[in-house]
A and B are shown apart, each in its own frame.
Chain A
Amino acid sequence: MKPKISLRQQGLVVFTALLAPLLLQTRPTGAGAQVTVLACAAAVPLLWVLLLPAGRGLAPDGPVLCRGAFAAALAVSVACQLYQAQRFYSDTTETDLSLFWYTAVVVAAMLYGVHAGLGGITRTANVFLWACGGGAVLLLLSVVGQLRVSSLQVVASPQTQLWQALPARLLLVPEFLLPAWLAPTPRQGRKVTAAVLAGWAVVTAALAVLGEAVLGAGYADQSHPVYTVARLGGVSVFRRLDAVHVSIWMLLALLRLMLSTWALLRLLQGLLPTARSRWLLVPGGAALAVLLGTCTAQQMEWVCGGLLAAALAAALLPKRRKTP
């Protein structure tokens, strides 16, 4: 039985979770603000169309392969998220925190979030979203004196760079499918998905424009683009506000982990209802361990995206026949 959370709350919790990878970027974007805005504008309708089968496939009577691929994607995503958050934290602070200890500290909070259920996670997301909004206002105020419209890079032929930037924007993440899975009906799921995609695109474009207006052409080459902008700002006597921003962003990363883990365990409960079937987790866990040991974080993101694409393709398979 699906949890009784309103559609608006479902959309907000997924949108809040999607903010984490946007803010905790650990790789250069490689694309300027103009191309990013165009890529986001092109990606939203394309993604919405790609995600259309999700509501059908992730329904309780949908193809098992679809939910299985989605669960596998969530498992890979949780591993990616742990790695990304730990790496971001280690890079931006002077703490040499290993992935093992970071996971050990975070798992306790993650499991409590899973125990609290989607209702608890949603209520927490509201608080984190307000904190993030306050942080965004603070960020804007702190760098407004360094904003220059003339720093924005004007590209003569954005089409070429657009084709290079678009694949990165079309990379599927599990949060894109969550609204369809959580919504009571596929139609409602499509509406929430559209709202989440629009919000995600607006934030992505806004961050790119803000970053380039401050840093100029160098923004696209920054390893931690948003964090670099956060380091620049100061308000009154407070000259270093990046610790405030990092704290809020790490909370968003924790929320995303909670939501992904909760969704993964829920899916597994439905896919592997018996104790005997849960032995399938052993080869699954082994495959995940091999993946973690052999692939980079960026490769794992592509594996996750591939699994989600497989889930969407499997959603087109015939539904399971109900046993009379």
Chain B
Amino acid sequence: MKYAKLLLISLFLLLAAGCAGEPLSGRAVVNTLYLDRDESGWQAVLVYVTSSASADAGQAKPEALVLSGQGATVADALQDAQSASPLTAFYGQNELLLLGPGAQGQAMYEACAYLANDSAGRPNMAVFGVQTLAEDWQPASGEDRYALLRQLEQAAGESLYTQRLYRLAGAEAGLLPCLEVDCRQGTAVPGDTRLFLGGECTAVWDREATALAALIEGQVRSVSLEASTGRGPVRYTLELPLLGWEASLDTLTLNACLSGYLKNLTDSGGLIHTGKQELADEIAAQLEETARRITRETFGQGQDLLRMGFWLRSRDAAACAELERTGQWYDPGRIDWKVRLRAL
């Protein structure tokens, strides 16, 4: 009986431990985080969703509100933004980080490192580059901003390549997919992808190069693209892509072979029914050239962002390490690309 009372007391203590917690109504559940940087420091915009009563008693009208702040560091800017409201910012549901023009480049690694180490947030939140500025978030109404938020989420979902926070945290190079956002019109669509080596944007990849990067990383299983062919612009869907890596230990080279099926080949006249395999071969040649280009721009520049070298290192790590030591490893000719497509 004595121990039963002790157990009851201990259970009460354990259960009472949550009484000091923050109620949900006292929290601002941050949906999207925007960061930018200029000479004065960092600007942070926290976008959170709340609901207000509408004239229709059966509905709550959602709206997106913003908290803005600035500071010398990311932490200061976030703290300044939060101090503008009695609500406590909650980052647990934050899955989108937007980097303004000033935050792209060298600054983004620092920002991502801070956010990745903060246990409040998600280290795998998607990171996108945008050209909007911090003040662009202000004029819109809560409802318009909410509509923009939904557009942003849709655009992020449609983006071929997703960059994760932890990949950029403390890195030296990285790919930054961009979104074309118009805060006034309330629109957001996927844009191009920027390659940053250090703090400098060294390449801008179009949809085809972005799709190849996503295929190499296994982020997508099918992709719809447009190619310029002898018959004019042709749209197609690449299905069941299969990427094989064959290492040649004699020459320490890697043969990368991308195969797949082309469906829904369409030009200005509609679905194409004749000469499909010739078109497929022409598209394959273009994809081969694009693959070689992205290899030159990443692996060839000493940054194996797509981790292609793993397939050779795993076969002969010592030889690859020796090549790296002598400065011969990052040779774009080390990876040979072949693309074989079959038209359906």
Contacts and interface: CB of A to CB of B under 8 A. Distances in A.
| Interface SS of chain A | helix
Interface residues of A, number: 34
A240 B119 contact: no
A219 B6 CA distance: 43
Contact of B14 (A109, A111, A223): A109
A231 B117 contact: no
Interface in B295-337: 307-308, 310-311, 313-314, 317-318, 320-322
A37 to B, nearest CB: 14
Interface string A84-95: 000000011111
A239 B307 contact: no
Interface string A132-149: 000000000000001011
B314 A224 contact: no
B6 A239 contact: no
Given A108-B13, A152-B310, A154-B313, A231 B318 contact: no
A161 interface: no
B256 to A, nearest CB: 12
B198 to A, nearest CB: 18
Given A156-B320, A239-B93, A218 B166 contact: yes
A294 interface: no
A112 B7 CA distance: 7
Contact of B3 (A115, A148, A150, A155): A115
B92 A157 contact: no
A111 B119 contact: no
B120 A94 contact: yes
A216 interface: yes
A104 interface: yes
Given A218-B169, A239-B93, A239-B95, A232 B124 contact: yes
Given A218-B166, A232-B123, A232-B166, 12 more contacts: A92-B119, A93-B119, A95-B21, A108-B6, A150-B307, A154-B314, A156-B318, A156-B322, A216-B307, A228-B123, A239-B95, A240-B93
Interface of A: 91-95, 104-105, 108-109, 111-112, 115, 146, 148-152, 154-157, 215-216, 218, 221, 223-224, 227-228, 231-232, 239-240
Interface of B: 3, 6-7, 9-10, 13-14, 17, 21-22, 92-93, 95, 117, 119-120, 122-124, 164, 166-167, 169-170, 217-218, 307-308, 310-311, 313-314, 317-318, 320-322
